[in-house]
Amino acid sequence: MTPKEVMDLIKGKNIEIVDLKFQDFPGTWQHFSIPISEVTPDIFDEGLGFDGSSIRGWQAIHASDMMVVPEPVTAIVDPFTERPTLSMICNIVDPVTRERYSRDPRYVADKAESYLKSTGIGDVAYFGPEAEFFILDGVRFDQNAHCGFYYVESEEGIWESGSDRGPNLGHKPRHKEGYFPVAPTDSQQDIRTEMILEMEKAGIQVEKHHHEVATAGQAEIDMRYDSLTRMADKMMLYKYICKNVALRYGKTVTFMPKPIFGDNGSGMHTHQSIWKAGQPLFAGNKYAGISDTCLYYIGGILKHAPALCAFVAPTTNSYKRLVPGFEAPVNLAYSSRNRSAGVRIPLYSPSPKAKRIEVRFPDPSCNPYLAFAAMLMAGLDGIQNKIEPGEPLDKNLYDLPPEELAKVPSCPASLEASLYALEKDHEFLTKGSVFTQDVIDTWLDYKRTKECDPVRLRPHPYEFALYYDC
């Protein structure tokens, strides 16, 4: 969509408000709205000013003036506002230099795509995330000096099987038995259907939706792949639509990787491939029908996986999911079909156009612009340096004997460990100034001071069960 087409859409839909969205540094949408009287074609070039001093991870108060420049291709009619509202995602620009702001995550994604083209390796990177999430009936949590708790509410939760509230009709998925049951066990068919219908109205092509493995309303909606930055745009819209449709039903959605103990967490398996001149580069005659280029890309992902985790599994809660011996693919190996490997080569179709890899350790708490860009940069480093990924492991990695499993590297066990890995290994990210050193340093500082330290300093409820009588 061009600026003129956006202006025509505004007139054709009788739009009254234009909502301008952008991302803070950790990965949450922010916005402000303007009346239609303020909307002219000039905003697509000149932008609109705002105060960025309170945006997480951005500039200090002395350099807080920023500008948003709307991206017309992202324009949609917002389905959740009472008055007719047009929504657009924006790029962030410095009002003095007119250059794009280095800490704008969307700029990092754009630079990663430009860097791919500059290498001559390919001209487009396709990404297809499979984001899982929970649709809950409610959640309560608090933390202060003398107490801390959380309480997840779900009529689907197996723990409600003995509840005497209302008529208890049963049909609750048992732990790890929520994959593909029909109604009434799957109680959220209509909610997910409404989610995908809203996604399609917003220009997101959806392939399928279904109940996921865990009890308590775990869900997955799969989008059709797209180029890196546009897929990150769609991932943000995906979250927005899921949360707001759930709100219509009086429910709440969380993309937190591990909200429930003893059952599967929510991952974001991310399919990816590189194309050039309309041809797929990952198809070939090597293992599982892939090319040397694809093998080297896998080599880069596996080599840099500990550092990648700082962006693709970026919360302390991520490492409640990435636990050896449980459902998460923490082992840094590759395989065809085998879902216990950190990188999988899907074999759904023999078509060369379908040849891709699936990186399985990311989760949906990530900032998709930074996560997709980081994975592309790791893969490109593998191609440029011909990093061999080693031999594939086609065994069930969870059943390997200890002496054999010890030879397989694994993901870091904590956010602190992944940040340390990023601190030691980030040159592959700074090629072409895709990730500036300022972005790396700010990410490390923010995650350590705003997330790791606050969690580390507070007593955990289970510590009382372990140690109160010591």
Active site residue 453: no
Smallest Cα–Cα separation from 80: which of 253, 192, 245? 245
Active site residue 358: yes
Q: What is d(CA 327, CA 306) in angstroms, rounded to the nearest whole number?
A: 19
Paired sense of beta strands 343-345 and 65-70, if any: unpaired
Q: Which of 269, 321, 356, 426 is catalytic?
A: 269
Q: What is d(CA 141, CA 149) in angstroms, rounded to the nearest whole number?
A: 5
C-alpha distances in Å from residue 306, one per residue of 92, 313, 348, 368, 404: 30, 10, 29, 17, 20
Q: What is d(CA 80, CA 78) in angstroms, rounded to the nearest whole number?
A: 6
Q: What is d(CA 224, CA 230) in angstroms, rounded to the nearest whole number?
A: 12
C-alpha distances in Å from residue 284, one per residue of 262, 280, 293, 319: 41, 9, 9, 35
Q: Which of 263, 360, 381, 451 is catalytic?
A: 360
Q: Which of 24, 156, 212, 263 is catalytic?
A: 212
Active site residue 388: no
Q: Which of 171, 175, 209, 339 is catalytic?
A: 339
Q: What is d(CA 16, CA 5) in angstroms, rounded to the nearest whole number?
A: 16
Active site residue 427: no
Q: What is d(CA 361, CA 1) in angstroms, rounded to the nearest whole number?
A: 35
Q: Which of 110, 130, 186, 263 is catalytic?
A: 130
Lookup result for tokens 């540094």: 25
Q: Which of 78, 156, 220, 263 is catalytic?
A: 220
Active site residue 38: no
Active site residue 192: no
Task: Supply the angle between the helices 437-447 and 305-312 in degrees, to the nearest 10.
Answer: 70
Q: Which of 155, 233, 358, 381 is catalytic?
A: 358
Active site residue 344: no
Q: Which of 71, 110, 132, 198 is catalytic?
A: 132
Active site residue 146: no
- Look up residue 28 and give its DSSP letter: -
Contact predicate 78/85, CB 8 Å:
yes
Around Cβ 464, how many Cβ atoms within 10 Å?
A: 11
C-alpha angle 292-298-300 in degrees, rounded to nearest 5: 105
Q: Which of 5, 42, 51, 207 is catalytic?
A: 51
Q: What is d(CA 142, CA 149) in angstroms, rounded to the nearest whole number?
A: 6
Active site residue 51: yes
Q: Catalytic residues, which ones? A: 51, 130, 132, 212, 220, 269, 339, 358, 360
